[in-house]
Structure 1
Amino acid sequence: MSDNSTTVGSYLASRLEEIGMKHYFAVPGDYNLVLLDKLLENKNLEMISCCNELNAGYAADGYCRATGGASAVFVTFSVGGLSLLNAVAGAYAEDLPLIAVSGGPNTNSEAEFEMLHHTLGLLDYDYQRDIFSKVTAEAVTIHDPREAPTQIDHAIQTALRFRKPVYIEIACNIADAVTSAPNVRSFGGPTASDPLSLNAAVDRAVELLSAASKPVLVAGVKLRSFGAEANFQKLADACGYAIASMPNAKGFFNEQHSHYMGIYWGPVGTPGCGEIVDSSDLCLFAGGTFTDYTTTGHAALINPSKVIQARPNSVVFPNQTFSNVKLTEFLEMLAKKLKPNDGSMIAYNRIKEEIAPLRPGTPETELSTRQLFSRIQQMLGPDSAVIAETGDSWFNGMQLDLPEGARFEVQMQYGSIGWSVGATLGFCVGAPDRRPIALIGDGSFQLTAQEVSTIIRYGLKPIIFLINNGGYTIEVEIHDGPYNTIKNWNYAELVHVFNAEDGNGFSCKARTEGELDEAIKQATAHDGPALIDVLIHRDDCSKNLLVWGGHVAKNNGRPPRFH
Structure 2
Amino acid sequence: MSPLPDHFTVSDYLIQRLYEVGLRDVFTVPGDYVARWFDYIDDKARNPDTPLTRIGCRSELEAGYAADAYTRLRGVGCAAVTYGVGAFSLVNPVAGSYVERLPVVAISGSPGTSSTDRPFARTYKILLHHATGNYRADRDAYQHITVAAEIIRDAAHAPAEIDRALGLALAHKRPIYLEFWRNLWDAECARPQGALAVPKLATDQAAVTQAAAAAASAIKAAKQPLFWAGIELQRFGLQDAFKALRDQTGLPYVTSLLAKSVLPETAEGFVGTYTGPSSDYTTYQTVGSADLLLVTGDLLTDDYEGIVEADFDTMIVAYDDTVRIGAATYSAVPLAAFLTALADALKDQPAREPWATKGPATIDPDYKPFPPELVTYARFFQRMETWVDADMTLVPDESSSMYVSCNIPVNRANGFVSQAAWGAIGYASAAGFGLSVADPNARPVVFAGDGGFQMVAQTVSSMAHYGRNPVVFVMENAIYGIEQALTNSATYTDDEPFNAYNKIPKWDYAAFARALGAKAARVSTLEHLDTVLAEVKADRESVWLVQVVLPERDIPSEILRLATNTPPTPGE
TM-score under structure 1 length normalisation: 0.90
Deviations 1:442-472 (A, max 9, x none): 1100000001100000000111111111111
Question: Of 517, 534, 546, which residue of structure 1 is paired with 2:560?
Answer: 546
List aligned pairs for 1:3-18, cutoff 5 A.
6-18=8-20
Deviation at 1:60, TM superposition (A): 0.5
Q: Which amino acid aligns with 1:32?
A: V
Map of 1:489 onto structure 2: 507
Map of 1:225 onto structure 2: 235
List aligned pairs for 1:323-472, cutoff 5 A.
323-338=331-346, 339-340=349-350, 342=352, 345-346=354-355, 348=356, 365-405=373-413, 407-472=415-480
Q: 1:117 to 1:23 in 2, by over 3 A?
A: same
Map of 2:60 onto structure 1: 53
Q: 1:200 to 1:410 in 2, by over 3 A?
A: same
Q: 1:328 to 1:270 in 2, by over 3 A?
A: farther
User: Any idea what SS the aligned residue of 1:248 has?
Assistant: coil
Question: Of 481, 504, 510, which residue of structure 2 is paired with 1:473?
Answer: 481
Q: Which amino acid aligns with 2:196?
A: S
Do residues 255 (structure 1) and 265 (structure 2) align?
A: yes
Deviation at 1:202, TM superposition (A): 1.9
Q: 1:26 to 1:366 in 2, by over 3 A?
A: same
Q: Which amino acid aligns with 2:560?
A: L
Give the Cα–Cα distance (whole angstroms) in 2 for the partners of residues 490 and 356 of structure 1: 28
Contact 1:424/1:436 (<8 A) preserved: yes
Map of 2:71 onto structure 1: 64
Do residues 73 (structure 1) and 79 (structure 2) align?
A: yes
Map of 2:492 onto structure 1: none
Question: Of 135, 145, 161, which residue of structure 2 is paired with 1:151?
Answer: 161
Map of 2:126 onto structure 1: 115
Q: Which runs of 5+ in 2 are unaligned?
A: 489-498, 567-572
Question: Of 67, 86, 92, which residue of structure 2 is paired with 1:86?
Answer: 92
Give the Cα–Cα distance (whole angstroms) in 1 for the partners of residues 180 and 436 of structure 2: 29
Which has the larger displacement, 37-46 or 306-315? 37-46
Map of 1:194 onto structure 2: 204
Give the Cα–Cα distance (whole angstroms) in 2 for the partners of residues 193 and 223 of structure 1: 18
Q: 1:120 to 1:205 in 2, by over 3 A?
A: same
Which has the larger displacement, 264-273 or 484-493? 264-273
Do residues 517 (structure 1) and 523 (structure 2) align?
A: no
Deviation at 1:151, TM superposition (A): 0.9
Deviation at 1:5, TM superposition (A): 5.6
Q: 1:189 to 1:254 in 2, by over 3 A?
A: farther
Map of 2:491 onto structure 1: none
Map of 1:243 onto structure 2: 253
Q: Which amino acid aligns with 2:478?
A: G
Q: 1:75 to 1:7 in 2, by over 3 A?
A: same
Deviation at 1:333, TM superposition (A): 3.5
Q: Which amino acid aligns with 1:512?
A: T
Map of 1:555 onto structure 2: none
Give the Cα–Cα distance (whole angstroms) in 2 for the partners of residues 411 and 145 of structure 1: 37
Map of 1:507 onto structure 2: 520
Question: Of 240, 246, 266, which residue of structure 1 is paired with 2:276?
Answer: 266
Give the Cα–Cα distance (whole angstroms) in 1 for the partners of residues 513 and 235 of structure 2: 34
Give the Cα–Cα distance (whole angstroms) in 2 for the partners of residues 342 and 541 of structure 1: 41
List aligned pairs for 1:3-42, cutoff 5 A.
6-41=8-43, 42=47
Map of 1:102 onto structure 2: 108
**Identity, % of aligned positions:** 30
Do residues 174 (structure 1) and 187 (structure 2) align?
A: no
Deviation at 1:199, TM superposition (A): 2.5
Deviation at 1:253, TM superposition (A): 2.7
Which has the larger displacement, 159-168 or 403-412? 403-412
TM-score under structure 2 length normalisation: 0.88
Q: 1:354 to 1:399 in 2, by over 3 A?
A: closer
Give the Cα–Cα distance (whole angstroms) in 2 for the partners of residues 437 and 187 of structure 1: 37
Map of 2:297 onto structure 1: 287
- Alignment root-mean-square deviation, CA: 2.5
Give the Cα–Cα distance (whole angstroms) in 2 for the partners of residues 416 and 230 of structure 1: 30
Q: Which amino acid aligns with 1:412?
A: A
Give the Cα–Cα distance (whole angstroms) in 2 for the partners of residues 33 and 291 of structure 1: 39
Deviation at 1:341, TM superposition (A): 5.2
Deviation at 1:34, TM superposition (A): 1.3
Map of 1:498 onto structure 2: 516
Give the Cα–Cα distance (whole angstroms) in 2 for the partners of residues 386 and 117 of structure 1: 44
Q: 1:465 to 1:175 in 2, by over 3 A?
A: same
Deviation at 1:52, TM superposition (A): 1.1
Q: Which amino acid aligns with 1:513?
A: L
Map of 1:502 onto structure 2: none
Q: 1:300 to 1:183 in 2, by over 3 A?
A: closer
Contact 2:263/2:413 (<8 A) preserved: no
Deviations 1:229-264 (A, max 9, x none): 221111111111121112221111332123221122
Give the Cα–Cα distance (whole angstroms) in 2 for the partners of residues 515 and 300 of structure 1: 44
Q: Which amino acid aligns with 1:523?
A: V
Give the Cα–Cα distance (whole angstroms) in 2 for the partners of residues 288 and 115 of structure 1: 49
Deviation at 1:141, TM superposition (A): 0.9
Write out the 4+ residue segments of structure 1 that deviate beyond 6 Å after TM superposition: 356-359, 361-364
Contact 2:364/2:558 (<8 A) preserved: no
Deviation at 1:335, TM superposition (A): 2.9
List aligned pairs for 1:203-214, cutoff 5 A.
203-214=213-224
Q: 1:355 to 1:382 in 2, by over 3 A?
A: closer
Deviation at 1:121, TM superposition (A): 5.1
Give the Cα–Cα distance (whole angstroms) in 1 for the partners of residues 178 and 413 of structure 2: 35
User: Any idea what SS the aligned residue of 2:85 has?
Assistant: coil
Pairs aligned (count): 537
Deviation at 1:194, TM superposition (A): 3.5
Q: 1:353 to 1:64 in 2, by over 3 A?
A: closer
Contact 2:363/2:381 (<8 A) preserved: no
Contact 1:383/1:406 (<8 A) preserved: no
